């Protein structure tokens, strides 16, 4: 019986060796990025609850843009991974062009919206409560931070296009190096510009934004140069800018498959933003505490992020090569490994929860609330890990309409109404509300199990006609 279990759910040494080679650079990249985000958060936190809350609000708004870009890039990446698995470099080239055009359009739209309605959007998260806080100062800090961060949207889109395409070809090292360079630069610049160290001006939250923008341009330039200099390895880049021609059939296929994915990422991020907006009605202390919780949670979840990428790449390539049964078997092992691992990571979050807020030197009320929220987040982590890799499994086979229903619709029908109702019309504490919203994903797990078992996602979506 154990042998049957082992065969179905546990891979051999070669399986984990291959997985480690793929995910390790992503883990390093994401780990450093999220650790530096934590440090940045701590630095801004030294400026006070209002400054930290202002930055958190802007980052929540930019989160919608980031996931919109991610959605568009991911829609094309489904095909990019399968084209590469088939050995079709021209197909990869076409998907790269699509990503570049999409991210440019998304960036222009985002800058227009955020520049035009910046004050109104930020004010949605500012509510007068008994907990107090200087709302006008928070608004001012957020506006200053956003004005600079908008300049960094262009290189963000470029980096996403290059990094995602490189990963589809199995190259995870270059994005890792680019990200690490940018991250370390961001950390140093923030240290200088936030507090006025090493002779730099003391710019507060504006300094934090400048550091981020410079580091993003650095990352984009590095990826462009490294890819161009290695055309023999990254064949897709050769001649990619000679024109922006993309066969109509590929555009059509990406739009048909990718539109639900794009809509999913946009609407899901908006749903998540509205959940956080619901939390914010409880005051600036809650905004600060949920911001710290989210930052720490992201640091602990680097493996979950990497495993999502692994599922997308490995399973996508197997499907593209027509190895359907192997794709199913591999996916089962990847999901099982992910869930078990995140049970341990969730326990680590719970055990460290009382000590993490200490590094922020935040006011006592923020620290106490953060500790309690982290315990809930740690307990719910295995559920989120399963949902995360299930999402990427469904996506790898091009079942983007199902992912739309699974992810976005669930958020708007279940999670957001729950948060909205409980925050406004119940007498529950923010911790109890947070618990209810986090564990509402239990139903999503059951839906995911049904979808995985059905095998509806295990399809090869590219054809000779498409390429």
Please write the tens of the pLDDT for every residue from 281-305. Answer: 888 889 889 988 988 888 888 889 8
Q: Is 157 among the domain residues?
A: yes
Residue 407 DSSP one-character state: I
| Tokens of residue 112, six digits | 């227009």
Q: Is 353 among the domain residues?
A: yes
Q: Is 464 among the domain residues?
A: no
Torsion, Cα 158 52 121 400, to 10 degrees, reads 50
| Tokens of residue 425, six digits | 């019309």
Token look-up 């995910």 returns 23
Q: Is 144 among the domain residues?
A: yes
Torsion, Cα 26 274 372 443, to 10 degrees, reads -80
pLDDT of residue 3: 65
Q: To 5 degrees, how large is the angle CA 84–CA 90–CA 93?
A: 85
Tell me how far apart the alpha carbons of residues 447 and 382 are, in angstroms, rounded to a whole number.
Answer: 15
Tell me how far apart the alpha carbons of residues 178 and 223 are, in angstroms, rounded to a whole number.
Answer: 6
Please tell me the pTM assigned to this model: 0.79
What pLDDT, in 10s, does the model give residues 250-278?
888 888 877 887 788 888 888 988 999 99
3-state secondary structure 70-125: HHHHHHHHHHHHHHHHHCCHHHHHHHHHHHHHHHHHHHHHHHHHHHHCHHHHHHCC
| Tokens of residue 65, six digits | 């843009």
Contact (Cβ atoms closer than 8 angstroms) between residue 330 and residue 413: no
- Per-residue confidence at 129, pLDDT binned at 50, 70, 90? low
Tell me how far apart the alpha carbons of residues 333 and 346 are, in angstroms, rounded to a whole number.
Answer: 20
pLDDT of residue 467: 44
Tell me how far apart the alpha carbons of residues 350 and 22 are, in angstroms, rounded to a whole number.
Answer: 29
- Per-residue confidence at 439, pLDDT binned at 50, 70, 90? very high
Instruction: Write out the residue range of the structural domain in which residue 208 sits.
Output: 10-454
Residue of 311, 291, 407 lying closest to 26 (CA atoms): 311
Contact (Cβ atoms closer than 8 angstroms) between residue 333 and residue 11: yes
Q: Is 131 among the domain residues?
A: yes
Tell me how far apart the alpha carbons of residues 328 and 392 are, in angstroms, rounded to a whole number.
Answer: 13
Q: Which residues contact 242 (CB under 8 A, 6 or more apart)?
A: none
Inform me whether the pLDDT recorded for 440 exceeds 90. Answer: yes
Q: Is 347 among the domain residues?
A: yes
pLDDT of residue 161: 95
What sign for the dihedral angle of Cα 391, 397, 400, 401? negative
What pLDDT, in 10s, does the model give residues 331-363?
888 999 999 999 999 999 999 999 988 887 778
Number of domains present in the structure of the chain: 1
- Per-residue confidence at 4, pLDDT binned at 50, 70, 90? low
Residue with the larger pLDDT of the pair 457 and 338: 338
Q: Is 270 among the domain residues?
A: yes
Tell me how far apart the alpha carbons of residues 399 and 249 are, in angstroms, rounded to a whole number.
Answer: 18
Q: Is 3 among the domain residues?
A: no
Tell me how far apart the alpha carbons of residues 95 and 311 are, in angstroms, rounded to a whole number.
Answer: 19
Tell me how far apart the alpha carbons of residues 316 and 204 are, in angstroms, rounded to a whole number.
Answer: 44
């Amino acid at each position: 019986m154990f042998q049957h279990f082992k065969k179905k759910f546990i891979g051999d040494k070669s399986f984990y060796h291959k997985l480690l080679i793929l995910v390790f650079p992503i883990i390093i990249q994401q780990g450093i990025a999220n650790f530096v985000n934590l440090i940045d958060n701590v630095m801004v936190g030294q400026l006070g609850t209002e400054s930290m809350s202002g930055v958190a609000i802007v980052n929540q708004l930019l989160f919608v843009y980031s996931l919109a870009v991610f959605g568009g890039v991911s829609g094309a990446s489904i095909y990019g991974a399968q084209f590469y698995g088939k050995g079709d470099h021209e197909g990869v080239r076409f998907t790269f062009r699509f990503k570049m055009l999409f991210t440019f359009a998304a960036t222009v739209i985002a800058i227009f919206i955020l520049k035009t309605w910046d004050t109104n959007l930020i004010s949605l998260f500012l509510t007068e409560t008994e907990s107090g806080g200087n709302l006008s100062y928070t608004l001012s800090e957020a506006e200053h931070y956003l004005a600079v961060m908008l300049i960094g949207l262009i290189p963000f889109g470029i980096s996403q296009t290059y990094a995602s395409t490189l990963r589809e070809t199995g190259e995870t090292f270059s994005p890792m190096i680019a990200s690490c360079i940018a991250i370390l630069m961001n950390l140093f610049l923030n240290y200088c510009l936030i507090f006025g160290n090493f002779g730099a001006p003391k710019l507060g939250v504006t300094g934090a934004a400048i550091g981020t923008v410079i580091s993003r341009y650095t990352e984009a330039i590095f990826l462009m140069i490294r890819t161009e200099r290695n055309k023999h390895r990254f064949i897709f880049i050769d001649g990619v800018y000679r024109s922006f021609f993309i066969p109509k059939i590929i555009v059509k296929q990406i739009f048909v498959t990718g539109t639900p994915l794009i809509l999913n990422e946009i609407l899901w991020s908006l749903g998540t933003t509205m959940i956080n907006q619901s939390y914010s009605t409880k005051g600036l202390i809650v905004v600060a505490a949920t911001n710290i919780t989210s930052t720490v949670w992201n640091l602990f979840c680097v493996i979950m992020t990497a495993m999502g990428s692994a599922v997308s790449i490995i399973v996508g390539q197997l499907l593209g090569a027509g190895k359907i049964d192997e794709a199913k078997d591999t996916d089962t092992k990847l999901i099982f490994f992910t869930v078990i691992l995140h049970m341990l990571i969730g326990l680590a979050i719970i055990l460290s929860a009382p000590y993490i807020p200490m590094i922020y030197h935040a006011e006592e009320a923020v620290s106490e609330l953060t500790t309690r929220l982290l315990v809930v987040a740690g307990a719910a982590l295995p559920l989120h890990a399963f949902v995360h890799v299930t999402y990427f499994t469904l996506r790898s086979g091009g079942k983007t309409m199902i992912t739309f229903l699974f992810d976005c619709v669930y958020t708007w029908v279940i999670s957001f109404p729950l948060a909205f109702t409980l925050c406004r019309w119940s007498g529950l504490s923010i911790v109890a509300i947070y618990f209810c919203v986090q564990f509402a994903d239990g139903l999503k797990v059951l839906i995911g199990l049904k979808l995985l078992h059905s095998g509806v996602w295990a399809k090869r979506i590219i054809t000779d006609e498409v390429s």
